A and B are shown apart, each in its own frame.
Chain A
Amino acid sequence: MSLSLETAPTAEDAAHRRPRITTNKQRVTWVTLALLVVLVVGLVWALSIGSQHISLSRLPGAILKADEPDELIIQSIRLPRVVLALCVGAALAVAGALMQAVAANPLAAPEIMGVNAGAVLMVVLAVTVVPSLSGAPTILLAFGGAAAAGVSVMLLAGSGRGRVSPVRLALAGVTASSLLISLTQVLIIFDENSTDSVLFWLVGGVNYAGWHDIRNLLPWLVLGLIGAFAMARPLNLLALGDDMARGLGQNVERTRLFGSALVVVLCGAAVSVAGPVAFIGLIVPHIFRRLVGSSYTVLLPLCAVGGGVLVLYADIVSRYVKPPFEVPAGVVTALIGAPIFVYLARRQKVTS
């Protein structure tokens, strides 16, 4: 995390507007290695903390078989929680990177564009109207909400012009989000549900992760990630600008359409199992673009891992907020992400 802020060269402003496609191979290797180390440390850390004290030596055994309570705790509670954190982080971070590419806009991110808020509203609506609904069907509804919100914001912000200005997109997105969030809040007020559920849909987290959540999310995550990685080359061309991309034989509209569809799938699925975990989609792509440049071939896989790592660490930190009981990880990502968002907004080179 802090890595990105230390390595802030002054010439980066320019790099932001016109992404570099060149990549320093050595740098990528180092970043990847560092990320993997952080990931492994995080995994061990996350698996070893909890209200039950379990010695680290039980970890390997617990992953293979689980007979005793300690091993069961690791296998059926801590492991799914860790895996879900990684999956949700990967989905949101890759969705953010895709969105920034598709919208050609550094401030495009699922939470700013109202995509997450749309998904949440649909899920909360479904749960209030038909309480028996849960699991897979709510994912489909979340897709609907995410798609409707994201598409309308994009269309509205971009209607009638070629390139949408970051400000316009951000204004459109946050305004749409605030409308969707107030609708969600009112549903909650009138339903008088339990406090936990309320907080979950406002904040998001992986506290109650189970393997069934992963089963619900995984197909969509795999689909979304494979689709995203397959789009790396067209996205690189898109970064050169629409005209250049067209000149190089790209179907720009089709790339945008597929990209947007993948964003909806990734965000909808992640939000419907883990709630609106904030800012992952905004900050992770920026951090890695800083570190390894803008080639999507490298950026997308690193975002997938990096997003997962960020949610994993947020979840770890969240357990220290109010021990021994837990707060949702979304609170932590929001508190980390908001200052970075302020920083990003401040360094935007904007002309009106």
Chain B
Amino acid sequence: MSLSITRFRRTVAVLTLTAAAVALSGCGGSASSPATGAAPNANRAAAAAGVSSDVNDEQCGKSTRTIKHDLGTTTITGNPTKVVALEYSFVDAMAAVGMSPVGVADDDHPERIIAPIREKTGKYTSVGLRATPNIQVITSLKPDLIIADSGRHKAIYDQLSKIAPTIAYPSLNGNYQQVLDSEMSTAIALNKCDEMKTRLAEHAKLLSELKAKVPAGEERKALFVRASEKGFTGFPPKAYTPGVLAAVGIGTALPDENGDASVSLTLETLTTTKPEVMFIAPNPGPTLTDQWEKSPLWKQVPAVKDNRTFEVDPDSWSRSRGLISAEVVATEAIKLLYGK
């Protein structure tokens, strides 16, 4: 008995260990999604400014529109009026075409919707945390369109679709291009194509005006970070905010080589990154920056040495994404850097 049991145990042990090893090696894969090319589509004259060719604007203006999105294809009839937005960026898209959502997953922190968007947004009902929006409240709002995050809300997509036609785009993990694309797609779903195209053209115009203010030969690289008490997180070029900055000609100091959408920096990695400009979005309370400011090494960082370190609002620079928020970021960055 003991012999066979020993053999059995050995087999089980080997199997378990192998499974564990396979499991661990499998997690090397990165969670990021491929970035869409940043170049605007020049071929299609009627295309919306700055939006990639993936967005199918042939559906514009039809009474029944088929919208392709990250989690499938959804058919929308008529003009949706009662829309639930499950991420801040979708509120931005609605505000951009002069609409207002009936429900927003705002983490029960309405103040996190930045002022320029809040002004355009009427009264809405909070549907809870962005991570776990309250399905019952969403149902009770009787929406005719739900806009969800394709990562966060993947698991509840089927349930949301039962309540109302649901479209999903990358917001939490989306880059600037993906956010712009989702603005246009949202507008197609809302049947507000022309409004969005006008708005996107204004957006492109504003950004190119801002870009024109950048002096020729500007080579300084900027770093956008979120600072908290136990973290200093930098964002590489593929992330949303650096994408916005790149659109107005401000380069990013971090390399884009490994797949991560954000990187934890220490004071040492910060000094070797050598950013010439820093935009720091601090969390409430004390942050690492407060401590590092006392270090002589902090003053070795080019951005600090040249007095090019700016504190910015985490709500507009990081949490909120979209057309309007990007304009806020771009305008503020240019103003901070060049005073105009």
Q: Mark B48-82, 1 if CB is under 8 A from A, else 0.
A: 00000000000000000000000000000000000
B291 at the interface (CB under 8 A from A): yes
Pairs across A and B, CB under 8 Å, 12 listed: A72-B300, A76-B296, A131-B284, A134-B285, A193-B228, A194-B228, A197-B228, A199-B231, A200-B230, A275-B230, A325-B260, A326-B269
Q: Which residues of chain A are near B263, meaning CB under 8 Å? A: 325
> Which chain B residues numbered 264 to 296 have a C-beta less than 8 Å away from chain A?
264-269, 271-272, 283-286, 288, 291-292, 295-296
* B230 & A208 in contact (Cβ 8 Å cutoff): yes
* B269 & A51 in contact (Cβ 8 Å cutoff): yes
* B285 & A132 in contact (Cβ 8 Å cutoff): yes
Question: Once the chains are docked, how many angstroms separate the CA of A301 from the CA of B43?
Answer: 74
A337 at the interface (CB under 8 A from B): no
With A73-B268, A325-B265 known to touch, is A197 a contact of B229 (CB < 8 Å)? yes
What's the minimum C-beta distance from A45 to chain B, rounded to whole angstroms? 15
Least CB separation from A132: chain B residue: B285
Residue in A52, A77, A326 with the greatest tally of chain B CB atoms within 10 Å = A77
Q: Which residues of chain B are near A196, meaning CB under 8 Å? A: 228, 230-233, 264
B131 at the interface (CB under 8 A from A): yes
B297 at the interface (CB under 8 A from A): yes
Q: Which residues of chain B are near A197, meaning CB under 8 Å? A: 228-231, 283
Q: Which residues of chain A are near B297, meaning CB under 8 Å? A: 69, 72-73, 76-77
* B296 & A132 in contact (Cβ 8 Å cutoff): no
A6 at the interface (CB under 8 A from B): no
Least CB separation from B291: chain A residue: A210
Q: Which residues of chain B are near A212, meaning CB under 8 Å? A: 291
Q: Which residues of chain B are near A78, meaning CB under 8 Å? A: 268
B313 at the interface (CB under 8 A from A): no
With A76-B295, A210-B295 known to touch, is A195 a contact of B231 (CB < 8 Å)? yes
B332 at the interface (CB under 8 A from A): no
Interface residues of A (CB under 8 A from B): 50-52, 66, 69, 72-73, 76-78, 127, 131-134, 189-190, 192-197, 199-201, 207-208, 210, 212, 275, 324-326
Question: Once the chains are docked, how many angstroms separate the CA of A51 from the CA of B263?
Answer: 13
B226 at the interface (CB under 8 A from A): yes
B107 at the interface (CB under 8 A from A): yes
Question: Once the chains are docked, how many angstroms separate the CA of A200 from the CA of B267?
Answer: 17
Question: Once the chains are docked, how many angstroms separate the CA of A134 from the CA of B289?
Answer: 14
Q: Which residues of chain A are near B230, meaning CB under 8 Å? A: 196-197, 200-201, 208, 275
Question: Once the chains are docked, how many angstroms separate the CA of A338 from the CA of B244?
Answer: 44
10 closest A-B pairs (Cβ-Cβ)? Answer: A196-B231, A131-B285, A200-B230, A194-B228, A51-B272, A134-B286, A197-B230, A131-B284, A72-B297, A51-B269
Least CB separation from B298: chain A residue: A76
Least CB separation from A323: chain B residue: B258
With A189-B131, A210-B291 known to touch, is A134 a contact of B229 (CB < 8 Å)? yes
Least CB separation from B231: chain A residue: A196
Question: Once the chains are docked, how many angstroms separate the CA of A223 from the CA of B230?
Answer: 26
Question: Once the chains are docked, how many angstroms separate the CA of A210 from the CA of B264?
Answer: 16
With A72-B300, A212-B291 known to touch, is A127 a contact of B268 (CB < 8 Å)? no
* A52 & B272 in contact (Cβ 8 Å cutoff): yes
With A127-B229, A195-B231, A196-B231 known to touch, is A132 a contact of B286 (CB < 8 Å)? yes
> Which chain B residues numbered 120 to 139 have a C-beta less than 8 Å away from chain A?
129, 131
Q: Which residues of chain A are near B107, meaning CB under 8 Å? A: 192
* B283 & A194 in contact (Cβ 8 Å cutoff): yes
Least CB separation from A66: chain B residue: B296
* A51 & B268 in contact (Cβ 8 Å cutoff): yes
Q: Mark B184-226, 1 if CB is under 8 A from A, else 0.
A: 0000000000000000000000000000000000000000001
Q: A73-B268, A325-B269 are in contact. List 11 more A-B contacts (CB 8 A).
A: A52-B271, A73-B297, A132-B286, A189-B129, A193-B283, A195-B233, A195-B262, A201-B230, A210-B295, A324-B269, A325-B263
With A194-B233, A195-B231 known to touch, is A77 a contact of B266 (CB < 8 Å)? yes
Least CB separation from B228: chain A residue: A194
Q: Which residues of chain A are near B284, meaning CB under 8 Å? A: 131
What's the minimum C-beta distance from B112 to chain A, rounded to whole angstroms? 9
Q: Which residues of chain A are near B291, meaning CB under 8 Å? A: 210, 212
Question: Once the chains are docked, how many angstroms separate the CA of A132 from the CA of B287?
Answer: 9
* B285 & A207 in contact (Cβ 8 Å cutoff): no
Question: Once the chains are docked, how many angstroms separate the CA of A316 from the CA of B28?
Answer: 20
What's the minimum C-beta distance from B192 to chain A, rounded to whole angstroms? 30
What's the minimum C-beta distance from B167 to chain A, rounded to whole angstroms? 24
What's the minimum C-beta distance from A314 to chain B, rounded to whole angstroms? 16
Question: Once the chains are docked, how many angstroms separate the CA of A46 from the CA of B25?
Answer: 27
* B226 & A194 in contact (Cβ 8 Å cutoff): yes
Q: Which residues of chain A are near B300, meaning CB under 8 Å? A: 69, 72
Question: Once the chains are docked, how many angstroms separate the CA of A131 from the CA of B230?
Answer: 12
Least CB separation from B226: chain A residue: A194
Question: Once the chains are docked, how many angstroms separate the CA of A201 from the CA of B230?
Answer: 9
Question: Once the chains are docked, how many angstroms separate the CA of A51 from the CA of B296?
Answer: 18
Residue in A51, A73, A208, A212 with the greatest tally of chain B CB atoms within 10 Å = A208
Question: Once the chains are docked, how many angstroms separate the CA of A157 from the CA of B269?
Answer: 47
Question: Once the chains are docked, how many angstroms separate the CA of A197 from the CA of B288?
Answer: 11
What's the minimum C-beta distance from B86 to chain A, rounded to whole angstroms? 15
Question: Once the chains are docked, how many angstroms separate the CA of A182 from the CA of B288?
Answer: 26
* B295 & A208 in contact (Cβ 8 Å cutoff): no
* A69 & B226 in contact (Cβ 8 Å cutoff): no
* A207 & B266 in contact (Cβ 8 Å cutoff): yes
Q: Which residues of chain A are near B271, meaning CB under 8 Å? A: 52, 69, 73
Least CB separation from A209: chain B residue: B266
Question: Once the chains are docked, how many angstroms separate the CA of A127 from the CA of B286?
Answer: 10
Question: Once the chains are docked, how many angstroms separate the CA of A195 from the CA of B217?
Answer: 36
Q: Which residues of chain A are near B296, meaning CB under 8 Å? A: 66, 72, 76
Question: Once the chains are docked, how many angstroms separate the CA of A229 from the CA of B232?
Answer: 38
